[in-house]
């Protein structure tokens, strides 16, 4: 019996012929990505590390430092990279949310294993990488020993058919899946099918990133022409893609007709069985609109938002915050005029950081407020007060709603 995409990848990396759900495998980790929080909260400089070339340090969650605790972490990170000669250091100024920086710099390679402290590391699955979030203690262990273990979970395959309509984004695809099928605890997700070619890389990354919200382990896409081109542009070569065997065994195979999808919104609390097509939601006034995060602060997300906002004005009583996913995205969006459009409409563009998405800084929400976000989580209290309500939708829906003042179908807005 054949293996799924992730099973093939893990088997090869573990040096075994076959793995099955339930098996425990030990694998070498090709890239160990450490973030600023690690240095601020859990840091003892090790006496030796496995391989400095397989380590990247990215400052993202709390930059520029909003607290003394975070400020104290920065020098520890800088000392560590200097002491061990780590070249892949993305300090403030060339920083960004780690999953965006990983993508821009080709750190997630097909068929390889990537570990990072942030729970949205499954983002790297968009590039055919076995990437997932692991805790700071485990990252520490990988940094020192170069390897870790995984228990192989069963795989659910999403077979994509049809064409993704231009006004529908990866966020809508994800919110639809989460609403329809719920949690994927201790499951891997695999995305394939003839419709995949119509799903751009930025949307694939949104989907892979948000697999964390439905509690999945790995979420992987195969290498196709679109991905190969993306990787070539970033100098990624000599990789060994992982693919599923034709007779692979899945926990479930679910067919999604991309052409039938609509813009979706998740109601506050969870994305799991908690969504509704935007066209069906009651008129819901919003106080804050947020476009950003590893899931949706990409250049394409800012382009879509700028197109909707160009020549319009953010509604009175609404704060629109836009956080580019990296300094590179910020610079590109500035050069292309997107930031101008956003700011002219009355939006606030912030520096790149995880900031408002995890309710730490740069736009926390207060009691009684309603936030519509394109970020990653709508948990109670996630973005500030536990008495705030967080709805989640695509950047297009957030931008259109910021102009209207209430949750709005972006297809109703002329650009």
Instruction: Report yes or no: 289 and 309 within 8 Å, Cβ to Cβ.
Output: no
Rounded CA-CA distance 177/378 in Å is 16
Residue 140 engages other proteins in binding (rule: CB under 8 A): yes
Residue 203 engages other proteins in binding (rule: CB under 8 A): no
CA angle centred on 104, ends 4 and 178, rounded to 5°: 45
Residue 359 engages other proteins in binding (rule: CB under 8 A): yes
Size of the site for other proteins (CB under 8 A): 54
Rounded CA-CA distance 339/305 in Å is 10
Tokens read off for 379: 């948990």
- In the complex, minimum distance from the CB of residue 309 to other proteins, in angstroms, rounded to a whole number: 28
Going from the C-alpha of 381 to that of each of 273, 288, 367, the distances in angstroms are: 19, 15, 10
Q: Per CB under 8 A, which of residues 141..170 are in contact with other proteins?
A: 141, 144-145, 149, 151, 153
- In the complex, minimum distance from the CB of residue 211 to other proteins, in angstroms, rounded to a whole number: 11
Q: Per CB under 8 A, which of residues 260..279 are in contact with other proteins?
A: 270, 272
150 vs 158 by CB, closer to other proteins = 150
Rounded CA-CA distance 189/251 in Å is 10
- In the complex, minimum distance from the CB of residue 413 to other proteins, in angstroms, rounded to a whole number: 32
Residue 288 engages other proteins in binding (rule: CB under 8 A): no
The site string for other proteins over 221-250 (x = CB under 8 A, - otherwise) reads ------------------------------
At 312 the three-state DSSP class reads: coil
Rounded CA-CA distance 187/89 in Å is 33
CA angle centred on 302, ends 296 and 308, rounded to 5°: 115
> Residue 99: in which H helix or E strand, if any?
helix 98-104
- In the complex, minimum distance from the CB of residue 362 to other proteins, in angstroms, rounded to a whole number: 12
Residue 44 engages other proteins in binding (rule: CB under 8 A): yes
Residue 204 engages other proteins in binding (rule: CB under 8 A): no
Instruction: Report yes or no: 111 and 117 within 8 Å, Cβ to Cβ.
Output: no
Strands 155-161 and 252-257: parallel
Q: Which one of 111-119, 231-239, 313-321, 406-414 is the stretch in contact with other proteins (CB under 8 A)?
A: 111-119
Residue 135 engages other proteins in binding (rule: CB under 8 A): yes
Residue with tokens 């890239």: 31
Residue with tokens 């397989």: 54
Residue 363 engages other proteins in binding (rule: CB under 8 A): no
Residue from 198, 340, 380, 415 in contact with other proteins (CB under 8 A): 380
The residues that touch other proteins, with contacts defined as CB under 8 A, are 24, 37, 39, 41-48, 67, 69, 75-76, 79-80, 117-119, 132-138, 140-141, 144-145, 149, 151, 153, 183, 185-186, 212-213, 215, 217, 270, 272, 358-360, 364, 377, 379-382, 384, 386
């Amino acid at each position: 019996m054949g293996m799924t995409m992730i099973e093939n990848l893990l088997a090869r990396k573990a040096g075994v012929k076959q793995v099955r759900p339930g098996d425990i495998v030990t694998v070498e980790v090709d890239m160990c990505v450490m973030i600023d929080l690690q240095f601020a909260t859990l840091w003892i400089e090790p006496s030796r590390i496995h391989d400095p070339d397989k380590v990247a340090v990215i400052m993202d969650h709390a930059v520029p430092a909003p607290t003394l605790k975070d400020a104290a972490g920065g020098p520890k990170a800088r000392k560590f990279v200097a002491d061990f000669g780590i070249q892949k250091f993305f300090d403030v100024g060339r920083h960004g949310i780690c999953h965006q920086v990983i993508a821009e710099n080709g750190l997630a390679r097909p068929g390889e294993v990537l570990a990072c402290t942030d729970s949205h590391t499954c983002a790297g699955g968009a590039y055919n990488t076995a990437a997932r979030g692991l805790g700071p203690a485990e990252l520490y262990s990988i940094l020192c020993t170069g390897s870790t273990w995984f228990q192989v979970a069963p795989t659910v395959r999403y077979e994509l058919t049809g064409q993704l309509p231009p006004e529908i984004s990866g966020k809508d695809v994800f919110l639809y899946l989460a609403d329809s099928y719920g949690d994927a605890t201790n499951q891997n997700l695999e995305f394939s099918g003839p419709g995949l070619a119509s799903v751009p890389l930025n949307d694939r990354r949104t989907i892979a990133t948000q697999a964390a919200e439905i509690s999945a382990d790995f979420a992987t896409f195969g290498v196709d022409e679109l991905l190969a081109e993306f990787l070539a542009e970033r100098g990624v070569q000599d990789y060994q893609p992982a693919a599923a065997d034709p007779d692979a065994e899945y926990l479930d195979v679910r067919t999604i007709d991309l052409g039938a999808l609509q813009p979706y919104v998740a109601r506050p609390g969870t994305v799991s069985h908690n969504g509704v097509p935007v066209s069906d939601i009651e008129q819901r006034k919003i106080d804050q609109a947020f476009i950003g995060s590893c899931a949706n602060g990409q250049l394409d997300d800012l382009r879509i938002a700028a197109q909707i906002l160009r020549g319009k004005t953010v509604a009175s009583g609404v704060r629109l915050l836009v956080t580019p996913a990296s300094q590179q995205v910020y610079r590109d969006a500035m050069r292309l005029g997107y930031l101008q459009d956003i700011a002219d409409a009355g939006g606030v563009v912030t520096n790149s950081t995880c900031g408002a998405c995890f309710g730490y800084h740069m736009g926390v929400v207060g009691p009684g407020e309603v936030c519509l976000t394109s970020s990653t989580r709508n948990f109670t209290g996630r973005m500030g007060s536990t008495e705030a309500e967080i709805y989640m939708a695509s950047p297009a829906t957030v931008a259109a709603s910021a102009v209207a003042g209430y949750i709005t179908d972006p297809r109703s807005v002329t650009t």
